[in-house]
Structure 1
């Protein structure tokens, strides 16, 4: 039943199966007990999540009312209050560390392609620039978190995936599909992605190189005891896969990442902190070109700084989890590379400050959470926003920031979780007020239910609402064929869903049906009937209704693992003739994922990943003709040999050398072969 570990100073029992009542065995032991469960992810071929354990100490001051002890085998972010994955009423897809290490990818962007409900639209590979959507939504409609801290850039969602962490530092990625307003407040209109790292991972050095002049080198050093520290750095570059008409590089890439994180942990409190830097520049080719403006040598450079301090109390009935953070994003966009005299560069800087207080307590009726967040978003720019009362100099140039915008988002939430033997109910609301919008304080409620009639079967249902403020780009961008509207309204979403999962040792089957009703949805549209006068305009659609279905089957046979998952989406909106949409009506109607992990010999494994997708939508080519997106299928493979402490691998992306475009007329590279190694120190 359990494994016992002996220590002269403290005796600790580790249980694999347990009861979670305050009057159960744990209350009788009179010493610290650590409980752990190994969970299986239903995404790709993951076999186990990273396990976090919270000590449960018998409470000698407990009243006669038996208090539920919420034992934490794996804490996920499906609710405001910390719940285990087995307790959570919200369906959370978890991609664990083992799956991340075995996937043939070079960035988190590439990794998310294998999540069936996630739409990954690349303009450039290896993390150069990627738009991430969930359930037919756009890149601005999801919230991205680093260890639970909101790192979204209010300027634009195009550069949201400029992460300071390397893949080797990530212990898991959590994907929440559907509105998550009462969990994360504004921005989480159609879902959330939380990237979780840990400072106690082993030290490592890694390097790889491949096609198109690609090379990457990096490493991590971890040290400490009660206070843990980890420092990492990474550099990558590529010549790119294409050239401009002039013969110069136009899809090249180079970038540097640096990340420090620390943790202090004792019986009373846990503190976490991090500082991260992501600096990169990339040839943007025809990324933002239009039939009217056919530039093929664009360039962009971003520098992002991330800082945060988080705390968590561990004793007493009332638990506090405050956090404070500051993120800064700098962006330089060159419409014509190295030619400011032809088109002046666009400079933007956003500073985001946030204070968040989470709290929860347990009582006879369950677990109640409450708290609030204050988030200030400040923009200074050369082309976005309103005229500034005082200009700010742009470092390294002879120009000033002359425009800008400042807005503050205030939110408060309340949530209650009822945990019964077979039923979990999580209900709550978030109240939101933004200083820039004319909207009054608005309340967005939600409820999630999970019912477990047998240990193998889980039924879930949910109804949630959320909102999103428009990005600064959507409100103010007015260059080269684009005309934004500063009076855009916030987007609002109501969603219902239901599903079932069946987990029986070697076989896992799940299915999910959902419906989204969106109001005031923001998009860029063009009226092609205007000919040469046609421009892209940001608008609020009256409503966009979406319905979708997802299913997945995972089979584990000895050391082999197989997974097949499928997603279908259909959106409804009245569309006028000659109107072309850039985002809202371009979505993946069909997405099929198939993965296999096959052992070939001792310590030698082959990973195969196939993705087929069919996108709804159109784009206008440089000849002025409207083109439909064509479906395509891509095969990726990775062969890994891992004689500890070494790991050596060779992989190929787009093995069949398929020529395709997933965003307008931005063609993606063909076959890309990479070889690399990692050594654990």
Structure 2
């Protein structure tokens, strides 16, 4: 699970968090609390030696006349890096140990156990999953890879196509709540950052898995570390037959995917430079994911990622520039391998970005500044405006006939007042987007936290943000779909208060929030309309309230003398929206939020190196979905989402250089639906082995 932070005044060392300058905290300039994790499937390991005494902490030293920032101080490493006791926001941190202990095969599956995260799975093994926070949708969060924004402006459905296998992830950082001054225009309700690992020593690793429904996966990694240089390359292939067939008896949830990732860094006393390049390609049977007209849909996606980042490690002003380019190529088939029945949809999206973040200290506190220029460009067979000249699609006899390009500019200013037990952080972001000739808009925010004692902390925040419509929201017109290119940007203002307690044996937190949402975008059907076509629209005003609570118990410390029960975690989230004026509306996202979610996890050591983790997840979703259509009257029949509970488990023999394991998902074959009328798989058993060696 997350790394619990304990008080230890005898020494001061931040080695648990390493010196990852590209982490979400480090590169995006938001002061956060590394707090109690709302995840019930993950282990709770200790992270010692982080002091709460701000007066004793000095974040720099002088070497050869230069001020040098200590590596270990990068706990948050934000635009204005702060010590733990100074933080004003709560962040969920899933460590590498947490990931290895969970019975999952993808990041998408792992996030199911985070109580504040809504995971609506369409296809297995992360083939396609919509992930959102606090009652939002998949378009309303920022997704980052090593601190680089990799959100896809075409659609959020494929946002989690990472080029790295889950075994190569160092940690996952989740921040809930709007923060436009930190993450930009796509962070209406928060952000999820995937941080990859680069071992400090040269090493190799490999893993292989197999299981139900024809599932098979294999991957390998090699890392070369020499002096100030470190280079790592990894690759992984996964496939499955899927768990359903079409009416014609053909596979329609099958999946295959290949990932390859290279990353490197140079690190000395003066500067840190990091770079990465990755590729993810996958094809999957998409059943009726997008339309009820066919249950043999298919999609093939190719994504590439490149980025370079740098940071100076001395001086009064600390700067962090970065530049990146992400490309997505998408082909969707309404009828698999049958373009004559309905033409295939082709899309190519390119995102170019450059940003500069920095901070400096002065007599009034710590000030952070930032600026970003991001261009989003698409060419497509049906998304965007008609091109003056069609562009040929390589390898086909089809042309791109539509396209759109828009540029987003943002400037950020943030200031932090740091006292012994109190921190006040305030700032704003100024945003201008070339789409629809949008004028410059300013979004303010303010956060505060106070350490009542060494064990108790209270915090409060007010944050605002916005989100631009995706290209699909604006332009997708097809059978049963009618987009609206006059959509307005979504806006949200959120207030949150919370309290956190931590000790050697127990960590707990409770928070409550109120979201005021305007112009939220969704695909809806009006039950009372003559023609029931999915149409994009801006809702008026929707207000949402929610509560999240979690408790993590170290059973080895709480019940001394026993060595079997190691950790217990329980968490609960409740949300409610004021939706009375939208009665009769069937929503695909906005009105289909998780009303209740409960997660629990028990980690045990059965014998020697034999470990067992048991996970439980209970969910209750608001909203309804289409079950069938009367062929004569054309009227739809609707059903409400049912409450369901799922039990997963992982049994593993864990040694320093290798691990043998068996994962069981949905052990009692509970039938359930996360999205529409798509039934999810029953019991799924997988077994595997991994090895890791220094060279």
SS in 2 for 1:57: strand
Q: Deviations over 1:602-643 (max 9, x none)?
A: 111101110000000011112321110001000000001013
Q: Which moved more, 1:335-344 or 1:51-60?
A: 51-60
CA contact (8 A) 2:618 2:646 kept: yes
Between the two structures, name the one with larger relative contact order (CA 8 Å, sep ≥ 6). Answer: 2
- Aligned in 2, Cα 1:261/1:129: closer, same or farther, shift over 3 Å? same
Give the CA deviation at 1:75: 2.8
Partner of 1:483: 482
Partner of 1:24: none
Partner of 1:166: 165
Partner of 1:541: 539
The yes-or-no answer on 1:670 pairing with 2:691 is no
Give the CA deviation at 1:48: 4.3
Partner of 1:611: 617
In structure 2, distance between residues paired with 1:397 and 1:480: 23
Give the CA deviation at 1:41: 4.9
Partner of 1:211: 212
The yes-or-no answer on 1:636 pairing with 2:648 is yes
Partner of 1:235: 237
Partner of 1:512: 511
Q: Which moved more, 1:575-584 or 1:615-624?
A: 575-584
Give the CA deviation at 1:462: 0.4
CA contact (8 A) 1:138 1:584 kept: yes
Partner of 1:567: 573
SS in 2 for 1:228: strand
TM-score normalised to the size of structure 1? 0.91
Give the CA deviation at 1:442: 0.5
The yes-or-no answer on 1:554 pairing with 2:552 is yes
1:105-144 correspondence runs (5 A)? 105-144=104-143
CA contact (8 A) 1:543 1:573 kept: no
In structure 1, distance between residues paired with 2:504 and 2:48: 19
Alignment match of 1:595 (pick from 588, 596, 601)? 601
In structure 2, distance between residues paired with 1:553 and 1:576: 36
CA contact (8 A) 2:68 2:313 kept: no
Partner of 1:312: 311
The yes-or-no answer on 1:46 pairing with 2:44 is yes
Give the CA deviation at 1:169: 1.5
SS in 1 for 2:437: coil
CA contact (8 A) 1:41 1:95 kept: no
- Aligned in 2, Cα 1:439/1:382: closer, same or farther, shift over 3 Å? same
Partner of 1:57: 61
Partner of 2:75: 75
Partner of 1:35: none
1:85-484 correspondence runs (5 A)? 85-200=84-199, 202-225=203-226, 226-290=228-292, 293=293, 295-484=294-483
Q: Which moved more, 1:586-595 or 1:197-206?
A: 197-206
CA contact (8 A) 1:72 1:84 kept: no
CA contact (8 A) 1:253 1:281 kept: yes
Q: Deviations over 1:92-128 (max 9, x none)?
A: 1111111111000000000111111000000012110
CA contact (8 A) 2:568 2:603 kept: yes
In structure 2, distance between residues paired with 1:592 and 1:188: 25
CA contact (8 A) 1:140 1:187 kept: yes
The yes-or-no answer on 1:655 pairing with 2:651 is no
Give the CA deviation at 1:388: 0.9
Give the CA deviation at 1:534: 1.5
Q: Which moved more, 1:570-579 or 1:240-249?
A: 570-579
In structure 1, distance between residues paired with 2:527 and 2:579: 18
Give the CA deviation at 1:256: 0.4
SS in 2 for 1:58: strand
- Aligned in 2, Cα 1:197/1:49: closer, same or farther, shift over 3 Å? farther
Q: Deviations over 1:304-348 (max 9, x none)?
A: 001000000011100110000000011100001111000100000
Give the CA deviation at 1:426: 1.4
Q: Which sections of structure 2, spanning at least 5 residues, go unmatched?
A: 1-7, 15-32, 51-56, 557-562, 630-635
In structure 2, distance between residues paired with 1:70 and 1:206: 35
Root-mean-square deviation (CA, aligned residues, Å) is 2.3
Give the CA deviation at 1:438: 3.3
CA contact (8 A) 1:322 1:358 kept: yes
